[in-house]
Chains A and B, each alone.
Chain A
């Protein structure tokens, strides 16, 4: 039987083996940058990652030491403002999309949410500049918050919708069969069931917003001093990374790496948690 195999058979077999190997190789190549980025952020930033980094203010040009306390608080405030602005819209729109699965208007909105997620963040920054900075006549945390709020809408909306749709239809029917009004079933039964997934999904959207830089450059601007006023320019970790990366001081460069490490550390942790939470959900719904 064995001599029945033609030459082309072996050629086809080896071609298959080669391409399989190439696919494996591309998967390896694809994850290399991730490890490089983690490695460099940690190895370059570790020298600046100490308690001072979190609780001290930035030092003037030329002096070493200091920290990014104002930027950490600033990023927190910006995210808070973004949440205030983006969360209600995302939550309600997500509920609307989940309740009108096949509705015509829901399809249009779902489509536009996807399109919105592809709009460059710098463009969102320009819009926030026109809508908030121009009328107020100066840069402000508020404008940055509006930009971040718009940016989190697509992710938060679609996560809310997906998590709500994961709740089995039978639970909704059970609620309705008890004679409970639709809106109460949604708010008191469906939403709490999906809450874990929605919360982590929204945290993930927040983490992404925390890393945004381009839309903050001409909205929140940046600030080397302590400020928590939402009407004034405010510091943020991401803009600090940008400024410190361009600066010709190795101490500042080190702090930029440290800030980058802090950002990707939080993003990774939240991604892991999200993965863990949604895996539980899928498993519970896999009937």
Chain B
């Protein structure tokens, strides 16, 4: 099936909310309103019946629940999942079985996150992190990528939430930056507060992975907004020869940097403004 001018893209959202609306708004404005339409505003509303009526040639699933619903329905249509964490990709891949499927991750590549640490905190070379069962496989690649940049990473794997604080204290003992890795066991609504309080008391700044994390008290983060992901998704759709030949999953192409200036000042850390860090990070990315 050729992705001609008439090819239509159906959007399925996990739920209604500002982040999903932000995605839809940007995606449709780039792809064109006539070429895209909202198939289901909530994952629960998605069904084979709506699909038959609308006949999209590609489904863009926005969020985890949308992706799960679409892949489980086994529609026979190619699927692009967006706003999904990289850690969840194998789970989605297994649901996809033989379906044409790809994703744009919500999280940033390790190289980019480490690049930001080097640019923003050049004097700090000892990183600490915690991983859970889901993210344990990330530790070794992180340590290797860090070593290439002259950074050392002390990491521990925890098996249950009760181990979190003792493990955190141990890794912080010899660290000057804490790099938060998205993992449902390590960082969730319950643990965000204790991690931020404990690291702050140890005067170890946290490098987060989202804007919300920086607002909550992390020192800085590189992250992508739903609109930035939408831009990339729209460009991917426009550039495709055929929807059946989907590219490999991708990391975000467009991103932003957030700095919590209050936390920086309180911890006595001199840090460049967000715009400067972003430009330098882009330049670094272009070189690598």
Task: Specify whether A and B are partners.
Answer: no
Residues of chain B at the chain A interface (Cβ within 8 Å) = none
